[in-house]
Structure 1
Amino acid sequence: MTLLTLSLLAIVQGITEFLPISSSAHLILLHEWTGQTADALALDVAVHIGSVLAVILYLRAEVGRVLRGLGQLAGGDRTAPDARLALQLVLVTIPTLIMGAVLAATGLVDRLRDPVIIGVTMIVFGLWLWWAHRSQPEDRKMDDWNMRDVVRMGLWQAVALIPGVSRSGITMTTARLLRFERHAAARLSMLMSIPVTLATGGYLGLKVVTEGMSAAQWGQVGLAAALAFVSAWVALVLMMRFLDRVSFTPYVIYRVVLGVVLLAIAL
């Protein structure tokens, strides 16, 4: 993979990783355009490192609470607010880890990377996000997150392992169905992404250590990680600002259009 292609893919995935528009769909399009593979190990490692650092920095207050909560849980305290938040974040991640292991073991991961599947899921789940936001009031804040919400959001996050569904999109949709206000829905979605992204990055990191990489490849990984970090940070900031004015509608329109494009390419 050329340095230009690696940089382009890192920037695009960094931008799309936490927006409700599915990074998988964009990688398929870039693959068609550049003729390069969209799932190179170096790129996967770089994007996960850069993007998770961006969201950790953006949600540094919430991350600090979770870290304090983990310490409280280790000390046997499950009643403190921070301990409860940490426990919720652990539990909400479990279904995705289980589903990921099943897909990897059965080989379904590669079979699901079909442009037709991605095009359909882009359209269907995009329209569902629009309906969820339009049909439900915004009367719950992030501190209202409870175990019942954790179960529902955790199960739907696991469904997002199907390319095109969008992890951020489906978790924001579920949060809005649970009547969380738009900013709370976005922040919960981003917070939920941290353990999943860390787990994925750790798994890929082990593969890198096992397979080995040249010094040149490590240099490319560093550059791609930096580009992914900057692009993910900018995307997060702009998304949170746009939610005040335009809500999720532009993302829904974008998803539907991109889904149609993918179906046209595939068919």
Structure 2
Amino acid sequence: MTFLQMLITAIVQGVTEFLPISSSGHLILTPVFLGAEDQGPLIDVAVHVGSLLAIIVYFFRDAWGLVRGGFSTVGIGKAPEQKRLFWWIVIGTIPAVAFGFFLQSQGYLDSFRSTDLVAVNLIVYGLLLGLADRFGRQEKVYEDMSLRDAIVVGLAQALALIPGTSRSGVTMTAARFLGYKRVEAARFSFLLSIPAVAGAGVLIVPEIMEVGGDLVTEALITGTLTFFAALATMHFLMRFLRKASMMVFVVYRVLLGIVLLWMF
């Protein structure tokens, strides 16, 4: 990859990971529009790890609360509220992990890197996001998370393994249907992503050790650039959702999906 492609890939990931418009779909589309080779799963994971580090930095207080909750689970310290939330995040992660292993074992992941599939999912899940944001109540905050809510949003997160769905988009959709405020739906979504993205990063370590060389350097550079792009995007989104609805993202998704179906 050239530095320009790494920079563009990082910006695309850093922006689209947190806006509900599908980062995986845009990562598939990026080399198509650049006329370059697909960057491959290693770069995809590297940019997701960059996004993960940005989440931990931006939501450091919440992330540290989950760490305290994990320690409380094994009898170190007393943080009952954080312990409860820690377990809801863990339980909410299980569907995505199980679905991911199933797709990987059956060899479906590579077949999902399809422009047509991205286009259809952009439209379908974009419309669902619009319905949830229009009719969902604005009552709950992250601390109100229950076991039922964790399972529902966790099941929604599993769908995001299919490109074009958008992990942040589909989890925010589920959270809005459950009555969470827009900002809290985003907060819930980002914190729920921590275990899933961290797990993907750990799983790719053996592959990184095997390939070595230029590809690892490219992954490190792209991941670092993604970190900074992701921080800026989260700051924008959290401020934006305090004042506006998600309709602009719905319109963008539907229009992009239509354009892709027309072009390809």
Q: Which residue of 1 aligns with 2:211?
A: 212
**SS of residue paired to 1:165:** coil
Residues 120 and 72 of structure 1, relative CA distance in 2, 3 Å threshold: same
Contact 1:46–1:221 (8 Å) recurs in 2:
yes
Q: Which residue of 2 aligns with 1:149?
A: 149
CA RMSD of aligned residues (A): 1.7
Q: In structure 1, list runs of 5 or more residues that go unmatched.
A: none
Contact 2:120–2:257 (8 Å) recurs in 1:
yes
Contact 2:208–2:216 (8 Å) recurs in 1:
no
Q: Which residue of 2 aligns with 1:235?
A: 233
- Structure 1 residues 251-266: aligned runs within 5 Å: 251-266=249-264
Among all aligned residue pairs of Structure 1 and Structure 2, give the percentage whose two residues are the same amino acid. Answer: 40
**SS of residue paired to 1:108:** coil
Letter in structure 1 aligned against 2:211? G
CA deviation after TM superposition for structure 1 residue 78, in Å: 9.8
Contact 1:45–1:201 (8 Å) recurs in 2:
yes
Letter in structure 1 aligned against 2:196? V
How far apart are the structure 2 equivalents of 1:232 and 1:87? Answer: 26
Letter in structure 2 aligned against 1:105? S
- Structure 1 residues 48-127: aligned runs within 5 Å: 48-75=48-75, 80-127=80-127
Letter in structure 2 aligned against 1:251? F
**SS of residue paired to 2:109:** helix
How far apart are the structure 1 equivalents of 2:25 and 2:45? Answer: 19
CA deviation after TM superposition for structure 1 residue 64, in Å: 0.7
**SS of residue paired to 2:161:** coil
Letter in structure 2 aligned against 1:204? I
Q: Which residue of 2 aligns with 1:203?
A: 203
How far apart are the structure 1 equivalents of 2:61 and 2:230? Answer: 18
How far apart are the structure 2 equivalents of 1:208 and 1:48? Answer: 15
Q: TM-score, normalised by structure 2?
A: 0.95
Report how many residues are paired.
264
How far apart are the structure 2 equivalents of 1:249 and 1:128? Answer: 11
Moved more, 14-23 or 166-175: 14-23
Match among 224, 233, 237 for residue 222 of structure 2: 224
Contact 1:44–1:204 (8 Å) recurs in 2:
no
CA deviation after TM superposition for structure 1 residue 46, in Å: 2.7
